[in-house]
Homo-oligomer: A and B are copies of this chain.
Amino acid sequence: MATRTRRSQRRTEALSRERIVEAAIELLDAAGESGLTFRALSERLATGPGAIYWHVENKGELLDAVTDAVVADAVAVEAGGSGRAGGAASGSTGAGRAGGEATGAAGAGGAGGVGGLSGAARDGIQAVALGLFDAIEEHPWLATQLATQLSRSPWGTVAPRLFESIGRQVRALGVPEDSWFTATSALMHYILGAAGQNAANSASARALPPDVDRDRFLDTVSTAWEELDPDEYPFTRSLAPQLRGHDDREQFLAGITLILAGITVVHPPAG
């Protein structure tokens, strides 16, 4: 299911569920959630709105299919460290400041020498996590969509996909079997929450006037925090300086490091 990103058909090829999903992703990437309309979709596919209903039950099911396709692609990075696979027919918005591939990696290796961790499994978890992080950054609508779908049907197709790819790495970590569920859930929830929030930052930054770049955006938020009511928000205010010049990706990985450390402490590897 992964990759296969060609795109040369347009009106010749017959309509298909796959083409519809592909076009839907393009619309979402280009114009956000409100940009996905059955009319816009059918125009792009050079057909009538009714035709789409032959291949897709309704808008909800279409969104589910779209979400599943993007997640499947993101998770297909699987083994290996860097080098992303395909990108599920997107195109538009590049990965932003795509420079350092997890350089520094938030003090990986574990501050304090937390023992017993398989380094490969640790890398595996980071790879999966960054795969999702990047997918959400590339498709900002994915964060909300993921929440919506996991909310609506936790037993759907997306949850097992995420669970499987994260869980395999947890198992490889040497965590005892009766803790697999807890450890995997914790990682999954953190990844979804953090990736969603962080992607939001880039999306917002991107939405600002072009001459206002990312640093300026963080400056703005930081300033907003500094202007909060001192009585109600003393803690948040005190953190405003740390917000300036913080790196999303590094922060994200630091959180993963935290959870991995917790896992190995609370559920020490059996070996």
A51 interface hit (Cβ, 8 Å): no
A234 to B172, CA, bound (A): 13
Instruction: Flag the segment in A38-46, A82-90, A159-167 that touches B.
Output: A159-167
Binary B-proximity of A224-247 (CB < 8 A = 1, otherwise 0): 110010001111101100110010
Q: Are A154 and B201 in contact (CB under 8 A)?
A: yes
A232 to B111, CA, bound (A): 35
A255: which B residues are within 8 A, CB to CB? 182, 185-186, 189
Q: Are A160 and B233 in contact (CB under 8 A)?
A: yes
Q: Are A147 and B154 in contact (CB under 8 A)?
A: no
A130 to chain B, nearest CB (A): 15
**Nearest residue in B to A199 (C-beta to C-beta)?**
B151
Task: Identify which of B233, B246, B260 contacts A262 (C-beta below 8 A).
Answer: B260
Given that A189-B197, A220-B155 are contacting pairs, would A164 and B232 also be in contact in the complex, using a CB cutoff of 8 Å? yes
A196 interface hit (Cβ, 8 Å): yes
Given that A185-B255, A255-B189 are contacting pairs, would A167 and B239 also be in contact in the complex, using a CB cutoff of 8 Å? yes
A200 interface hit (Cβ, 8 Å): yes
Q: Are A261 and B251 in contact (CB under 8 A)?
A: no
Question: Interface residues of A: mostly helix, strand, loop or mixed?
Answer: helix
Q: Are B151 and A265 in contact (CB under 8 A)?
A: no
Given that A220-B155, A265-B114 are contacting pairs, would A189 and B194 also be in contact in the complex, using a CB cutoff of 8 Å? yes
Q: Are B200 and A190 in contact (CB under 8 A)?
A: no
**Pairs A–B under 8 Å by Cβ, sample size 27:** A110-B266, A111-B267, A140-B151, A147-B147, A151-B196, A151-B197, A151-B200, A152-B204, A154-B197, A154-B200, A154-B201, A167-B235, A167-B236, A167-B239, A182-B258, A185-B194, A185-B251, A186-B194, A189-B190, A189-B193, A191-B193, A257-B266, A258-B259, A258-B266, A261-B266, A262-B262, A265-B265
Closest 10 CB pairs of A and B: A262-B262, A189-B193, A193-B193, A147-B147, A186-B255, A258-B262, A189-B194, A261-B262, A155-B221, A167-B235
